A and B are shown apart, each in its own frame.
Chain A
Amino acid sequence: MLGRFPAFVLALAILVCANGLVQSEEWKADGFVNTRYTISGTGDRNNPLWRQLDAPFDGDELFVRMRLRYDAETLDTPVDGDGEFVVLWLDSVEGTPGSTHSAGVPNIGIHTLENENRFMIRYQSSGQKFGPVLEGDREYLVVGRIWKSKPGPDEPFDKLDLWVDPANDAENSPVASVSDSKALKIVSWIGFSTGRKTEFGDRIEVHDIATAATWHEILKLPPPAEPVEPVVPPPVVKTVAFVDDVFPLLKKHCFECHAGDDPDSGVRLDVLDEMVNQTSPRDAAASHLYQLLANGEMPPEEKQPLTKPELEVIAAWINEGMEWDETLLPTPVPQSTHWAFQPVIPPEVPQVQNTDWIRTPVDAFIAAKHEEAGLVPNPAADTATLNRRLSLDMLGLPPEQGTDPLHVDELLKNPAYGERWGRHWLDVARWAESNGHQHNRERKYAWPYRDWVINAFNSGMPFDQFLRDQIAGDVVRPFSGDHLVATGFLAAARYSGNELDKEIQRNDILSDVTNTTASAFLGLTMECAQCHTHKFDPISIRDYYKFQAFFANGQPGNAALELNPEVANAVSERWAIFDSVHARMERVKQKQGVPGPIYITPKSVVGGMKADEKAQFNALEKQIESVPQAWCFVAPEGDTEQVTVTPHDMRWPLPRHSAALSDAQTFLLIRGDVKSKGPAVTPDWPLVLGGEQSDGANTRLQLAEWMTSRENPLTARVWVNRIWQWHFGTGLVETSSDFGTQGTPPTHPELLDFLASELMQRNWDTDHIHRLILNSATYRQSNRFSLANAKIDPDNRLLWRWTPRRLEAEAIRDSILQVSGQLDRQMGGVSVAHDSPRRSVYLKQQRERLPDQQNLFDGTNAASSCSRRRTSTNALQPLWLLNDEFAQEAAGQLAQRSSNVVEAFQTALLRLPTELELEQVSQLADEHGMQSACLVILNSSEFLYLP
């Protein structure tokens, strides 16, 4: 008899515990069953042995076992359907001795298949599944399980599984399984049936009949250990200490040749970064260094080889993660003479000859170079051209007809300024409204970041705050939704398509965040150092992972923009339902023998909810949706002001246990491979820029402070250079996201430093830089070509004229909408469909499904940070501008607004046509209508270029 096991309580209410339902001695037997219990047949359907369960059972899962032995002499070899039949059944009703316990009633036993007697399960005779062949005179342990794929007293026992002599670990691999959605929902009776095939003389012994709630109990195994979810790998037990055990060996055997600035063969072993290159992480056997030592190749012949115990110390040290002592063997601070890493020192404004030309100090720097090179700058452009230039450059829209000379301050006050310049920054931030990669799910709440950026420009937010909020807005205190939204910058990383490997998935996001932050604000291309110490820049692989470590405690997600306990509760309730259904479905898959790890998409989980669960779930979803939220980068804080992370539709979401992130450790990854973990690192900025000044407990807030400190040589230079580039098309440093040694040097280094110091001295006021530039003679020059100047400076790098450049995709579309009177100037809010008449910055930015004209006219694809738009010219662009419905419609609208060709010219180009132009375009209007004439004007280079 089954022994007593501790009572087992299932999560959902059941009538009674599944254990021991047949313990009382209440079997009812007829004359065909002897003591315990030999069953014989009657040659007809018969129930020789049955009883009521001690209590009815409608729980979710019930195991039943029996031992069975069939007397060999009475066992018929089935030929032509002859053979044997005996089953154990579980039913809701007692029936009569002649009853057929079938149709939705679990049967577990013996039946014939072709010429063999086999173990069998079924709910009805039409759906039998078979197990192994039955041999006579052999005692079998037969285990059955009935269970509900959806739990609940009103749900059917729709699953039935069979094991015969199971191994202890066979729980998830039954030999046969059947399903029946119409199965009974409660069992009260258990018994045995024989059939027509069972003869009088058959002797079938059954005993040890028992029920239990779990696999372990039914097999009488000790209870399984509580599963522990491994969050972090178990700490490695250190058997060797670096200072006492390893360092002396390295010193004795290696450092004589392989240390200091000029080591033998260039291999230096007194620096951790270089040591890492000679080893394989936590794998001594695969480590080059260890192999050389073990083979006796090193130390060289004349030296003493390492002893076996010494080798063992080295092996243990590598295997245990290569502990290092930075005080004993510090990483040398790289010395760099590269211009961009030197402090910003405000330069003297140069004295020049051409003083009449000077309008702002900017011009002095430009004129000095002109004079040096022998260039004569162009005179100022005419008012109409300048108006168009200022308006298109600052607002992304042509000016209204008949405007007076435009004033910089008015342009800065115009809300269109933020829409235009915000878009510039969104390029750098590789912002979009979907995850990218394979599934490319929508980021429903990404738009608030777009509005935040637009507002930041329109409100004249100082750049240091602009930077700080974007990389640490979630931890700026006091909490404000406005700060939090700004972390959309970090969160704009694409969401890796590596759906199953969470480690890789997270690392891909972190790499994106690290690379983008470094290039956007510091002009450092750090990605090379992800795999190896940078070949050109003084950035080591260690610097890279130390920088990455700043971001390791956070991840992207939707976050509520207010601290509201009700929302937090709704979210946790929502997850509780989700998790319980998920766990249930996972269990179903396990029982069905699906090999682990098992993945169930969130959509399937919602689909697998029962009606009441779904109703509750949907209500909670609705409640959560009503709260203002945004796609942010959030770190768990542990203080009372905990930001609530709201759900996000994602096929393969990142792990939700954000608490685990608070002590997420960053490792140096050898060759960037997430599976090759090197030594652990703490957050810090690159050594060459003054890292390692602290104890390594840096936060993102401190990173922001460091980036915007006056001593940081990069941040201000990079920002003023971007502003310059967005005005002129090319930066003073042409590679505006690469200020490293591989980037181009500045054409006007003093001017760059002048602007950078001005920015910092004026409290990071971007508008001040705009004014210096926009009011300059340099900016206001005409765009006329000059052969004399072109011979000296064909590429206009010294700015002897304004170089016209094609408008960006957005400005092209917006300009066309504006002059045709169709532009809807509504600001902000949820992104709109691509055929909306609103400004292009508001068109839905789903990666891979971007607006047509954005793809055609070199818009950003938001895969990675775009520092500068290119201009390419191809034949598909004219096809769009000529034939697309959008262009045709706009030409028609412009035609309706213009009574003649002259007016259309003035509306679109702010000038009168020349005589020849008037003649030819008027002829077109006469012959083919005004729409035709207007289409030509909208297609003209002049209209599509920043003049």
Chain B
Amino acid sequence: MTSMKLNRRTFSLMTGLGAGQLALQSLLAGSATDGRVVPHHPPTAKSVIMLFMSGGPSQVDTFDPKPELEKLAGKDVPESLAARVPKIKRAGLKNLLASPWQFSQYGECGMPVSTLLPETAKHVDKLCLIRSMSHRNPVHGPAECVALTGSGIGNRPSLGAWAIYGLGSETEQLPAFITMNLHTDGMQNPQASGWGPGFLPSRFQSTVVAPDKGIENARMPSGVSNERRQSELEALKLLNQNFYEATQVDELEARIRSYEMAFQMQTTGPELFELSGETAETQKLYAMDRDESKQVGRACLLARRMVQRGVRFVQIRVGGWDAHGNIKGNHERLAARTDAPIAGLLADLERTGLLDSTLVVWGGEFGRTPTMEGRANGRDHSPAAYSMWLAGGGVRAGHIVGETDAIGYTVLDRPVGPLDLHATILHTLGIDSEKLTFDHHGLKETPLGVSGGSVVAEVLG
């Protein structure tokens, strides 16, 4: 932080620009210092909604049809294919399992989607599907860190943190990065690194909110009036101004501004979560009228409201896709929770015109094996090949990237790693991941880390 402070101070002394203006920028996580010069190119998206399907949805049961599986059901993975399967734990090679769902082609593009996701299927003409996602970590926790931070260790910044580090906030009245964790029951604990700041300053971390509660402490305690709060803040400003003037530490001015922001957030925060202004038709669009989907529906509607109000990065994590035992029962339950709300979100973004500037991303930390796990009609974890989709934000709609083998176990063409996807997402926001740097103990860190990644050009329109 000191180098940043030095820059700012030197800058303000040299130019005579008020330190306050710069302090404000730092408060909003948006000043162009520390190697951040953005946008690097014209952005196609202003905001990102990440629909993170934790637990690992099965690719061969959703977006990657494999008729061969029906023929081979009950048999072992043919040797020619088995040789390609990475030698990692859990990569079972026995007893292939046919998908319990049928696939049909949808839309003008004719993208096949299984009958598991009939509502999302109606929007295929908006989707750019990547069937060739791939990495090597088969365990939920580390894999979730890989998917959202690019490394399994969990000590690097999350994608969202990098995004707001690069771009700053569009709004003063809400946090720039908001995360909602839904259905976190089950074995896959949410990984805080997935919305954490890593080595970036903590103001770049996500604010975690419960969709039904809102931003913590945004509501004043009962009995405190607006008028009283205003008086309090006036008195506080006097105290803080005295301390700032005597010491002239930038941070102290940022503190003064932070109270003004907080005051606004006391209004905008609760207002954001107040859905009574949304029509019954809209709420129905998000399937909020059904028990199984109302939680995800509410979160998706909130995501649209957040994006409308200038939130940069919204992350919705829906846990539970870990279909070890019974792929049919599990995925049907999860599809009932998510399919209609997500379709509703896509429809709503489109009709409100937000889809053009909002990138929606769907997928989990990995996919699942085409083989049966044990004897339980479920599928095990498989990071070797899995599907994700992007929509809006200038991506190439109705397009499919990559190809997997005849049973959907490994990638045949155009492997895409999580960091490639991150580079692509940041690219739509106008960020060149190689140029976005942060000085971490003297090491110039970028969102791509040591292992690197590059933009998947085929995804871009």
Contacts and interface: CB of A to CB of B under 8 A. Distances in A.
Contacts of B26: 873
B441 A858 contact: no
Nearest to B204: A872
Contacts of A876: 175, 207, 215-217, 262
B249 A803 contact: yes
Interface in A720-751: 730, 734-735, 737-738, 742-744
Contacts of B140: 438, 497
B2 A795 contact: yes
A101 B262 CA distance: 79
Nearest to B87: A675
Contact of B251 (A790, A871, A885): A871
A501 interface: yes
B440 to A, nearest CB: 10
Contact of A794 (B6, B175, B251, B442): B6
A879 B262 contact: yes
Interface in A817-869: 848, 852, 855, 858, 861, 863-864, 867
B443 interface: yes
Contacts of B152: 497
A802 to B, nearest CB: 9
B221 interface: yes
Nearest to B89: A500
A863 B154 contact: yes
Contact of A924 (B155, B235, B240): B235
A883 B219 contact: yes
Contacts of A928: 228, 231-232
Interface string A782-810: 01110000110011010000011010000
Contacts of A735: 441-442
Given A742-B441, A863-B154, A870-B202, A884 B242 contact: no
Interface stretch (A67-75, A448-456, A938-946): A938-946
B300 to A, nearest CB: 24
Chain A residues touching B, majority SS: loop
User: Size band of the A side of the interface?
Assistant: 35 or more
Interface string A923-944: 1100110001101110111100
B220 to A, nearest CB: 6
B375 interface: yes
A917 B441 contact: no
B441 A864 contact: no
Contact of B259 (A737, A878, A933): A878
B243 A884 contact: no
B57 interface: no
A437 B194 CA distance: 12
B218 interface: yes
A594 B374 contact: yes
A790 to B, nearest CB: 7
B73 interface: no
A935 B139 contact: no
B139 A927 contact: no
Nearest to A942: B243
A888 interface: yes
Interface in B255-301: 255, 258-259, 261-262, 265-266
Given A730-B2, A936-B232, A941-B243, A794 B259 contact: no
A920 B238 contact: yes
Contacts of B457: none
A413 interface: no
B417 interface: no
A738 B442 contact: yes
A925 to B, nearest CB: 10
A804 B244 CA distance: 10
B142 interface: yes
Given A497-B141, A795-B2, A932 B232 contact: yes
A875 B2 contact: no
A875 B265 contact: yes
A921 B235 CA distance: 6
A494 B191 CA distance: 14
A439 B231 contact: no
Contacts of B234: 920
B324 interface: no
B217 A884 contact: yes
A917 B235 CA distance: 8
A593 interface: yes
B27 interface: yes
A700 to B, nearest CB: 24
Contacts of A874: 27, 29, 175, 202-203, 258
A173 B445 CA distance: 52
Which 3 pairs, one residue from A and one from B, show the smallest C-beta to C-beta distance?
A438-B141, A785-B248, A878-B262
29 contacts: A438-B142, A497-B139, A497-B142, A501-B89, A525-B443, A593-B375, A595-B374, A734-B2, A735-B442, A737-B441, A742-B443, A784-B246, A795-B9, A848-B189, A870-B1, A871-B251, A874-B258, A875-B265, A877-B258, A877-B262, A879-B217, A880-B217, A917-B239, A917-B242, A927-B228, A936-B232, A939-B259, A941-B252, A945-B252
Interface of A: 436-440, 494, 496-501, 508, 525, 531, 592-595, 730, 734-735, 737-738, 742-744, 783-785, 790-791, 794-795, 797, 803-804, 806, 848, 852, 855, 858, 861, 863-864, 867, 870-880, 882-885, 888, 914, 916-917, 920-921, 923-924, 927-928, 932-933, 935-937, 939-942, 945
Given A500-B139, A883-B266, 15 more contacts: A531-B450, A735-B441, A738-B442, A743-B441, A794-B9, A795-B2, A795-B5, A804-B243, A806-B251, A872-B201, A874-B27, A914-B242, A927-B231, A935-B232, A939-B236
